[in-house]
Each structure stands twice: as structure tokens, then as C-alpha cells.
A and B are shown apart, each in its own frame.
Chain A
Amino acid sequence: MEALVFLEQHGGELQKGSLGVLAKAASLGDGDVAAVIAGEGARALAAEAGKFGAAKVWTCESAEVAQPLPQPRVDVLAQVVEEGGYDTVLFANSVLAADVAAGLAARLDAGLNWDLADIELQDGELVGKRPALQDSVYADVGWSGTPRLALFRAGSFDATPAGGGEPEVAEVSPAYREHSTAVKLVGQDAAESSGPSIEDADIIVAGGRGLGSPDNFTLAEELAKALGGAVGATRAVVDAGWYPYSAQIGQTGKTVSPKLYVALGISGAIQHKVGMQSSGTIVAINKDANAPIFEFSDLGVVGDVHAIVPKLTELIRARRA
């Protein structure tokens, strides 16, 4: 296996998820693993990539990759795959990496298996592990032909240093295609860090679109208060302006693992699940008996949040009084 790992960096920091994938690839022990880092300050990060198992690091600091946009990175990766002769390219899922991986798959006519939770060698062949259909079945997936592309679910692997040495560093400067550099970043709002911290809460009551309106978030707030917990939210309600981003749980929000997670009117999309699946006990109320959230709840209640939550809050208050 000649594997290449796409390392994502943001503000000069290599993202843990992609380092985890690198460490995993190195641990397969089937040949050296290389990494690619694009963007400002890429070269300075090469040594760190070495610690996580990269024997060689390709860097690209051209102006075209200064912004976190996928398409110029497809040009970079296509060039590296060709120059380095890689047969396997691995990505940790993110808004950026998913678009890079799929763009590269089309460019190279290469197979992309996504949402993998693990990968292993079986008789010398790479096999991906993919939980599918709301994680109700596990599929072993493979590739016909090379290069093989894989996109791993957030949090699949721990980023543990593999004890590697100083990597060989090579620079890459591809020819950028016209469409690859057409998107411009015209503004950025960093995520606000204010607001209550939900990461340390023992109990989280999270609300989704099923609450029906921003005002109904008081249902979640009252229940959280009664339980002595914090309030979380889904991206759907955060982007709709119902609740602040600082409370968002999931792939592009926070990862939490409270002792108790109560989900109110949340469908349980995979991107939400990856942010809360390690909670101790999960209780979900949803009026749709087929909602994916029930696939990973310890107690699933099919019902209307408006009917159940006020009563629940009252009962808990009474118990605590």
C-alpha cells in the first residue's frame, strides 16, 4: 500500500481528526505513509506530521490554497498522487475534506468510500468498515481499482503520536484549473466562544427543529434547569437563528459526552450523532417512530415534545423539591 493522508490545517494547527487517520494508516504497517498539507505555514507543520507517522510530507503554500476551499486542493492532491504514485488516499471528514475527496474521486475516476468508521487489511486487501442505514447494518466495503479513496467519520481514531522521526519534505506546485480557483472567500465570522459551556456539563438537554419555534426553546431550558444541566442545539436550529452557535452539537459544532443526553425533537442525523454518541445515557422524544435517533437512544419515546416535556419538567422539579 502506498498511502497518502490529507492533513487539514486551520490557522496553523493540524486538525486532530486528520492526524488520527494518519496514525491509523501508519499503524496498518503496510509500507510508509505520506501526508499532504496545504495552506499558509504548511511547511512548518511537516515535523508534527512526522510524529504521527508520516515518513514523507508534501507541502503546498501557494496563494491558491491560502483559503480553506476544496477545489484548488483537488489540483494539489491530483498532482501528488501522480508524482508520488499513491494507490490510497485517506481523509478525515469535514466540510472541507468531504468536498476535496469527492472532487478528487471525479478527477481520477477513483472509488470513494465515505462515512467509514474503521479500516483494516484482510489478506493484504484494504477493507473499509461502514455503518450504514442509521448504523443499523455494518458493511465491509472495498475498492475495484486504484487509487482507493476513503473518507472517515469524525472521531473514528485517536490522534496518538506514532513515534515517527523527521519526515522527508517535498514541495508541490500544481497547475490550477480555472474552475478550481473561481470561488472567493469574502468574509469570515469566527465561531463565538461566549455563552455557557456545554462541553463540561453532566447533563445536556438538546433541542431540534421539532420544538417548532425559537420560543419553544424555553421547554428545553426549563427541563435543563430542573435537571441541573445545560442546553444544546442542532445545526438546523442554530442556522435558522433559534439558538446560538456556541450551543451546537455535532460535526461542525461541539463534541460532548455528558452522563445524560436528552434529545427533544431531534431527528438524529449522522452529523449530529457524531457529536453526542458517547453520552452515557441517551433519552429521545420524537413524534416520528422511524426517526434515526431511536437507533441509538437508551430510552426512545415516540410522542409530542409539547405534551411530554412540561409534565416531565414538573415531575422532576417535584422530585427534587
Chain B
Amino acid sequence: MRIAVCVKHVPEGPSRIDPSTKRLDRSGEGSLNHFDANAVEEALRIKGESGTEVVVVSLGPQKALDSLRKALAMGADRAVLVFDDAAEGSDLVVTSRVLATALEREEPDLVLFGQQASDADGAVLWAAVAERLGRPVISQAMELSVEGGSARVKRQTEFGYDTLEAPLPAVVAVSDAINEPRYPSLKGIMGAKKKPQEILSLADLGIAEGDAGEAGSRTTVLALGDPPARGDARKIEDDGNAAQAIVDFLAEKRLV
């Protein structure tokens, strides 16, 4: 069996939008989207049970290789990065097109996604990719088992819990409650360097430049503004007296 895991490289620390491009500033340090570590962990758990190949796939800047290597250090077998300047600024329509094309080459039995990209909070990409792949999709999985050619998922919705089943090949997006991602071991980190890491351009995928990046996108950012003012919000660092400071604050607000 082969499991492909879609992972995103996201900016570390507080993010900012570059006013000139109206896009997220990705120039600083980045790391593996922590929600995607849950998806990698789940793939590794299934791999442990059944001798599966785990390939991690990302669309992103060249630096996204760092995040892919982290997934390799956790135990994934192979990495594929789609990196192309012409793919910068891709929206959902384009990102799903590029990822689906990259995934098709892998012919995975199962494609896993994380719960959301911490820099975009879309929590939607899997459904678009599944549609392009023509595969069943289940999102918000808090329990996943793969048996007898199908995936079985328990998940939470607004109305309680559902148990769903999809025949493989299928797409599943996992929630951050599904597992505790492992930390890469030193041996894992050393070993990751030698694992196959493929970098693909849009041309490699047969995608025209005009169908990617801002040119291919169907959404635009028109303007940026400040959010409504929030009054007198305060932030303090605990120096041992935080409990007292909270009580004083509550007293001032007549809440105790």
C-alpha cells in the first residue's frame, strides 16, 4: 500500500502580510504546519501495521524541503516538492490542481491531509483535491482504521459523532485530536538526508504557467486594513505574580 501525505511549510512565529504583494510574508523561517504532523504520524502508524510506503508531498518554496525533511525524519520514506516561481500566490483552485496532478503520479491508496494550514486556516483543500482526483473524501477524522480495502473514520460534526466508510483509494483529512505526533529521533534526522527527495516544476507536471500562481487563481486580495480597535487589551508576562494581577484585573472589572 502507498500513503501520500500532503504537508505545508508555514511561516514560524507571528505572521505578517507584505503590503506590496498583499500576500503572506514567507521570507522568514518556516516549519512543518503542526496540524500536518498529525497526518504524518497517522500514516506512520498505519505503516507500522502493514508495511506501507509513506510519501510526503508539498507545494511551496524551496525552503519547504526543511518541512519535508522533518517528515522524513519522523519516518516517512520519500518526499516530493513542487517548487516553481510561477506557482507563487496560488489560491485553492490552483493549489488543488497542482497537488492533484502531483498525487496522480504517485497512485496512492490513501491520501492524508492535516486539519488546517495554520497560516491560512482554510480547512478546505482536501475536498478540492479529492474532487480533482475523483475520489471519496472524509474530513475531520479523529479515529482512522484501514482494513479490507476501505478506510473507516470516526469524526465530530456540529451534531455529534459520525462513523463513515470509504473504499480505497480515498482521501482523508485528520483532526489534531487523532494522535500525538512523535519527535524525530537523532537517527531519524541523520537518515532523512539520504531518503529520496524529488523537486518538480510545473513543467514536470505538465501544468502551464498561466494555470498556476496568480495568473491561474480565481480569487484576489483587493485591499488590506486594520481590524476594529479592541479597546484596552493588556498582556503580561508571569513573573510569579500573575495570579494576583489577574485577581486585580477581575476586581477592577467587578467580576469577583
What residues of chain A have their CB less than 8 Å away from a CB belonging to chain B? 10, 68-71, 74, 94-96, 98-103, 105-107, 109-115, 127, 131-133, 135-145, 151, 177-179, 182-192, 203, 227, 235-240, 245, 251-252, 259-260, 269-271, 281, 283, 285, 289-290, 294, 296-304, 307-309, 311-312, 314-316, 319-320
Report B152 CB to chain A, min CB distance, Å.
Answer: 8
A residues less than 8 Å from B236 (CB atoms): 299-302
B205 at the A interface (CB under 8 A): no
B residues less than 8 Å from A239 (CB atoms): 142, 156, 175, 177-178
Are the C-beta atoms of B224 and A179 separated by less than 8 Å?
no
B146 at the A interface (CB under 8 A): no
B31 at the A interface (CB under 8 A): no
Task: Enumerate B178-194 residues with CB–CB distance to A below 8 Å.
Answer: 178
B158 at the A interface (CB under 8 A): yes
B residues less than 8 Å from A191 (CB atoms): 159-161
Chain A interface helix/strand/loop/mixed: mixed
B220 CB contact (under 8 Å) in A143, A269, A270: A143
Chain B interface helix/strand/loop/mixed: mixed
A/B interface sample: 29 pairs, CB < 8 A: A71-B131, A95-B155, A100-B127, A102-B127, A102-B128, A103-B130, A106-B127, A106-B131, A111-B217, A127-B222, A143-B219, A144-B220, A183-B138, A183-B166, A188-B160, A188-B161, A188-B162, A235-B156, A235-B175, A235-B177, A238-B156, A239-B156, A259-B255, A281-B253, A298-B231, A299-B236, A308-B238, A314-B243, A316-B247
B176 at the A interface (CB under 8 A): yes
B159 CB contact (under 8 Å) in A10, A178, A296, A301: A10
Docked pose: A261 CA to B21 CA in angstroms: 37
B207 at the A interface (CB under 8 A): no
What residues of chain B have their CB less than 8 Å away from a CB belonging to chain A? 13-17, 22, 24, 91-93, 96-97, 116, 119, 121-132, 134-140, 142, 152, 155-167, 170, 175-178, 217-227, 230-238, 242-247, 249-251, 253, 255-256
B residues less than 8 Å from A100 (CB atoms): 127
B16 CB contact (under 8 Å) in A102, A133, A182, A236: A133
B218 CB contact (under 8 Å) in A94, A95, A110, A186: A110
B residues less than 8 Å from A144 (CB atoms): 217-220
Docked pose: A252 CA to B234 CA in angstroms: 29
A residues less than 8 Å from B128 (CB atoms): 102-103, 105-106, 112
Are the C-beta atoms of B235 and A179 separated by less than 8 Å?
no
Are the C-beta atoms of A137 and B224 separated by less than 8 Å?
yes
Are the C-beta atoms of B159 and A106 separated by less than 8 Å?
no
B residues less than 8 Å from A183 (CB atoms): 136-138, 164-166
Docked pose: A177 CA to B123 CA in angstroms: 24
Given A112-B124, A131-B227, A303-B237: A245 touches B139 (CB 8 Å cut-off): no
Docked pose: A170 CA to B247 CA in angstroms: 60
Are the C-beta atoms of A106 and B96 separated by less than 8 Å?
yes
Which B residue sits closest to A283, measured CB to CB?
B246
Are the C-beta atoms of B247 and A315 separated by less than 8 Å?
yes
A179 CB contact (under 8 Å) in B13, B14, B93, B135: B135
Report A212 CB to chain B, min CB distance, Å.
Answer: 12
Report B195 CB to chain A, min CB distance, Å.
Answer: 31
Are the C-beta atoms of B161 and A112 separated by less than 8 Å?
no
Are the C-beta atoms of B137 and A109 separated by less than 8 Å?
no
The residue among B124, B132, B220, B225 with the most chain A CB atoms within 10 A of its own CB is B124
B163 CB contact (under 8 Å) in A103, A186, A190, A283: A186
Across the A-B interface, give the 4 residue pairs with the lowest CB-CB distance, nearest first.
Answer: A303-B238, A111-B218, A239-B177, A311-B243
B227 CB contact (under 8 Å) in A114, A138, A304, A314: A138
B13 CB contact (under 8 Å) in A259, A290, A303: A290
Report B228 CB to chain A, min CB distance, Å.
Answer: 8
Are the C-beta atoms of A299 and B249 separated by less than 8 Å?
yes
Docked pose: A115 CA to B219 CA in angstroms: 13
Are the C-beta atoms of B127 and A98 separated by less than 8 Å?
yes
Which A residue sits closest to B236, measured CB to CB?
A301
B226 CB contact (under 8 Å) in A68, A102, A138, A259: A138
Are the C-beta atoms of B246 and A312 separated by less than 8 Å?
yes
Given A235-B177, A320-B256: A143 touches B218 (CB 8 Å cut-off): yes
